[in-house]
């Protein structure tokens, strides 16, 4: 497991605390515990290039979310890592929408090169119960 270093001003430096289980990794700006969870994602199937974006719902299994953001997200397509969000030169799009009230997120794309690709989203968040 990684190492967390507490600095004098209650700032934390966190190393290697990436897990598919929920972990406390520091404090948010309001003093609440900051949690992190890695979610495996798969992009939706795109059958026609450039059509209206197709979405795929992915459960995060997070509860009591207050503040949430994507620290980093990516997929791998043809041995290339694409950070999310990503826009191709021809207008292809790849993105994620988080819905903190419905326990999930949507992965969205409109281009076939991103169809059915795997990757990860690293979420960081606070909870209403803290």
- The model's pLDDT over 16-53, given as tens digits with 9 standing for 90+, comes to 678 899 988 888 999 999 999 999 999 999 988 877 77
Total count of domains within the chain: 1
How many CB atoms within 10 Å of residue 59?
10
Residue-range definition of the domain harbouring residue 117: 4-127
CA separation for the pair 111, 108 (Å, rounded): 10
- The model's pLDDT over 60-75, given as tens digits with 9 standing for 90+, comes to 989 899 999 999 999 9
- The model's pLDDT over 76-111, given as tens digits with 9 standing for 90+, comes to 999 999 999 999 898 889 999 997 777 889 999 999
Residue 25 burial (C-beta neighbours within 10 Å; 0-12, 13-18, 19+): buried
Nearest to 112 by CA among 73, 54, 29: 54
């Amino acid at each position: 497991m990684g190492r967390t270093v507490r600095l004098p001003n209650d700032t934390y430096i966190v190393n290697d605390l990436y897990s598919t289980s929920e972990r406390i990794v520091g404090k948010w700006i309001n003093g609440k515990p900051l949690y992190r969870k890695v979610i495996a994602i798969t992009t939706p199937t795109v059958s026609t290039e450039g059509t209206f974006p197709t979405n795929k719902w992915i459960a995060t299994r997070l509860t009591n979310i207050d503040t949430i953001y994507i620290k980093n997200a990516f997929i791998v397509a043809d041995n290339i890592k694409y950070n999310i969000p990503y826009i191709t030169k021809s207008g292809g799009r790849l993105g994620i929408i988080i819905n903190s009230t419905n326990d999930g997120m949507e992965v969205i794309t409109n281009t076939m090169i991103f169809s059915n690709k795997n990757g990860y989203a690293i979420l960081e968040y606070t909870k209403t119960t803290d």
